[in-house]
Structure 1
Amino acid sequence: MADAVRIAKQSTCVAIGGRAVLIEGPSGTGKSSLALRLIDRGGELIGDDSVLLEARNGRLFAQPHPNTRGLMEVRNLGVLPFACRDEAPVALFLSLDREAPRFVDSPGRITLLGVDLPYLRLWPDGDSLPLKTELALLHYGLTE
């Protein structure tokens, strides 16, 4: 049974190796573009621009919003259909932020629906953003 449910508007979520990365940032910072590049590297779309978050037994799970399930905006092409994963535990919260620090000693923390998550701010530009996301999940993401 769910402890709490919330809609994360203007958030995008991709599962990598079964663990979800929740990506937020202002409109136009590249959330959907990052998701597209992660999907190209083997990730699975959970949701674009609206994600359901559900706290269960001390874990946070991301699910596609029923209104946007399997749809992702691809800039210059429109809203396109994609394969979609039903849910995954959120292991990392990323914020695309042009004021992100150059380096960190450890991730920050953020609490969503009573669940504590590692939190990182990443510079949104550059070809290495998908690799940085995967490395952040590997080094700082929650494990099962």
Structure 2
Amino acid sequence: MTKVVIQDLLDRFNLELLTGEAGVQREIFMSDISRPGIELTGYFKYYPKDRLQLFGKTELSFLEELTTEQKKDRFLKLCAEETPALIITRGQEVPTEMMEAAQAAGVPILRSPHKTTRVISRITNFLEAKFAPFTAVHGVLVDIYGIGILITGQSGVGKSETALELVKRGHRLVADDSVEIRQEDYDTLIGNSPTLIEHLLEIRGLGIINVMTLFGAGAVRSHKKISIVMNLETWDQSKQYDRVGLDEETMKIMDVDVPKMTVPVRPGRNLAVIIEVAAMNYRLKRMGVNAAEEFSQRLTKMIENGQDVGGDSTNGNM
């Protein structure tokens, strides 16, 4: 899991550090953010002290109802050894008791000028992306018509060459050779390239090329959601390949089942065009148009009506 410290939040969100400079290297272990409402009343039995503690207008307004001694007691308990930081929203003034307790415990106090809901949303999204489950897959990730397609297959089958042809046709490269994948939420996979090989393509016989330098910034992107897996394999005469598209195969990556298509490779097949069409067909399916199902329904209807379906659909020349 990626290590995240308070300094990362300061750098990312341009927060104001009010006190607790010694604690900017405190580590954050979870994406959950706590708003200590019930704790301010004095109930600390279930206090989640290992979370970021956020104070909005409601929390600070309630503090005005407490006595000085009550404030000191609450903040003494809130500033635990495990607490990463206290965050103040809406640019509000910080109570003296909070400043003193945080300074004594070495807990940073960060202040943002933005609304509470916006601060929670942005920081939570940032932390969830950092803490998301992670894996790496050998393959190529490309963005075709807005659809992220992960091209897999044995070494030398032509993945990088196909990606190069797709880039020439106006699509965008995300990663070549190694694709780092993180799972965001329960059904979303985001792929990106390792920093070392970002924007690079390895073409056998040609070497390593920089796609952004050759084709411009519009030919690459840093990350993309993975929607389809296209597995390239050498044509096997003894294997029966799907010719209609009714059988939907999936590939499990971490906890997510991703639609998978197997494309046989042999001389004369334009793989770039096939993958382009696969992306367009996927978009049509999301809009409710499924050509394979429509064909199957038409064929079934003709058979039920006793009509001649024609030789091409039965002898393999379709």
**Length-normalised TM-score, structure 2:** 0.42
Residue 140 of structure 1 and its aligned partner are, at CA, apart by 3.4
Decide which of 142, 166, 169 is 1:14's aligned counterpart: 142
Equivalent residue of 1:67, what SS? Answer: helix
Equivalent positions of 1:132-143 (< 5 A) are: 132-140=274-282
Q: What are the ranges of 5 or more consecutive residues in structure 2 without an aligned counterpart?
A: 1-127, 213-219, 287-318
DSSP-derived class of the 2:196 partner: coil
Q: Name stretches of at least 5 consecutive residues in structure 1 with no aligned partner.
A: none
Distance in 2 between residues matched to 1:74 and 1:110, nearest whole Å:
26
Report the counterpart of residue 105 of structure 1 in structure 2.
Answer: 246
Paired with 1:19 and 1:87, the residues of 2 have a C-alpha distance of 12
- In structure 2, how many angstroms separate the alpha carbons of the residues matched to 1:81 and 1:123? 28
8 Å Cα contact 1:25/1:95 also seen in 2: yes
| 61, 64, 86: which one aligns with 2:222 | 86
Cα displacement (A) at 1:121: 0.5
1:68 Cα deviation (Å)? 0.9
Distance in 1, matches of 2:210 and 2:150, equals 20
Residue in structure 1 matched with residue 50 of structure 2 by the alignment:
none
Amino acid at match of 1:95: N
Give the Cα–Cα distance (whole angstroms) in 1 for the partners of residues 158 and 169 of structure 2. Answer: 17
- Answer yes or no: is the 8 Å Cα contact 2:145–2:279 preserved in 1: no
Deviation at 1:19, TM superposition (A): 2.0
Whether the 8 Å contact between 1:107 and 1:140 is mirrored in structure 2 is no
Q: Which residue of 1 aligns with 2:29?
A: none
Equivalent position SS for 1:8: strand
Identity score, percent:
27
Of the two, which has the highest radius of gyration?
A: 2
| Aligned position for 1:38 | 166
The count of aligned residue pairs is: 142
Of structures 1 and 2, the one with the larger relative CO (CA 8 A, separation 6+) is: 1
Q: Give deviations 1:100-137, integer Å, cap 9, x for gaps.
A: 71514233111112112110000123342111111112
1:59 matched to 2:188? The reply is: yes
More helix by share: 2
* Structure-1 separation of matches of 2:228 and 2:146: 12
> Structure 1 pair 106/137, CA: closer, same or farther in 2 (3 Å)?
farther
Residues 81-104 of structure 1, C-alpha deviation per residue, up to 9 Å, x if partnerless? 112311111111011012471514
- Give the Å deviation of 1:65: 1.3
Higher strand share: 1
Query: TM-score normalised to the size of structure 1?
Result: 0.89
